[in-house]
Amino acid sequence: MVKIGIIQLCGCSGCHMAFLDLHDKLLEILPNIEIVYAPILADIKEIPDGIDVFLVEGGIRNEHEEHLLHEIREKSKKVVAFGTCAAYGGIPGLGNLYEVNELLNVVYSTDSTNNKGDIPCEEIPKLTDIVKPISDFVKVDYLIPGCPPTPELIEKVLTAIIEGKEPELPKKIVCDECPLKKEEVFPKKYKRSYEDKPIEGICLFEQGYTCLGSGTRAGCGAKCPRAGMPCRGCFGKTDAVLDLGAKIANTFANANIEEALKIPDKIGLLNRFTLPAALINRKIK
């Protein structure tokens, strides 16, 4: 029986929901595991010793999360970065473009707060300067990328671990899974997904849409391009790439550098899910 722990740090619980989306496959896995710690599922106060596999969802945004992560690493044989937030920082990592005080002032100066302008400070964990992936703090044994990961990938990795095997992630890119026809032409201009209507069945990048499939790890089945939406890079980089944003920026520039320079919000596009894991992981002022 494999003892499993699962927790949400700086994340949205979407990875937990993807775990439940295993549906019937979950019934095949459950007899082989014992969930010994899962705050979202059970009221267990303390992290027990001797956990075989701990799934950590979310990156690190405050000192309490950092403390929990170190305790998890100490008490677990294997730690898994569960989802893109844990592996690369995720969308919360875009907060790295701002100073902590800027974020707090914006959040607590809105009319939606009970006490406008009053920033809570008592019994509240101190925020770290920037969001970081969990691998910046502890050794991570395996990744399950995705925002959220597909149930199929979760099942594949968990089954391998339960059986004592080394789980393997896809090494190809989203373009390799994408069925859209490639005509080997360069885009004449770049446009966002809300501009015009894409021609069905034709590569979105070649039509000028800012699709990140050429640098993003496969494993999602190219669901977005199949639905006529450009890949946004939620599975993160492949093993052969150091920085997803830099890889895609190079692709865009090689195809049409003049138009690439006109793309708005380049960081939000190219490192939407991976800024904390990028070579430059914050805005330098």
- Domain boundaries, given as residue ranges, for the chain: 2-162, 170-285
Q: For position 41, what pLDDT does the model report?
A: 80
11: confidence class by pLDDT, cuts 50, 70, 90: confident
Domain at 2-162: CATH code: 3.40.50.700
pLDDT in tens, 214-225: 999 999 999 999
pLDDT in tens, 116-131: 767 877 778 989 999 9
43: confidence class by pLDDT, cuts 50, 70, 90: confident
Mean pLDDT of the 9-19 span: 93
Q: Distance between CA 141 and CA 117 in Å, rounded?
A: 42
Q: Distance between CA 202 and CA 178 in Å, rounded?
A: 10
Mean pLDDT of the 5-19 span: 93
**In this predicted structure, which of 126-135, 136-145, 186-195, 245-254 has the lowest mean pLDDT?**
186-195
277 pLDDT more than 70: yes
Q: Distance between CA 234 and CA 215 in Å, rounded?
A: 11
DSSP assignment of the chain, as one string? -EEEEEEESBS-SHHHHHHHTTTHHHHHHGGGEEEEE-TTTS---SPPS-EEEEEEESBEEEHHHHHHHHHHHHHEEEEEEESHHHHH-TGGGGGGGS-HHHHHHHHTTSTTSSSTT----TT-PPEEEEEE-GGGTS---EEE-SSSPPHHHHHHHHHHHHTT-------SBHHHH--SB------SS-B-TTSS-PPTTB-TTTTTB---TTTBBS-S-SHHHHTT-----TT-B-TT-S-HHHHHHHHHHHHHHHHHTT-SSHHHHHTTTTGGGSSS-S---
115 pLDDT more than 80: no
44 pLDDT more than 90: no
Q: Distance between CA 151 and CA 65 in Å, rounded?
A: 26
Sign of CA dihedral 215, 220, 221, 222: negative
196 pLDDT more than 90: no
Q: For position 151, what pLDDT does the model report?
A: 94
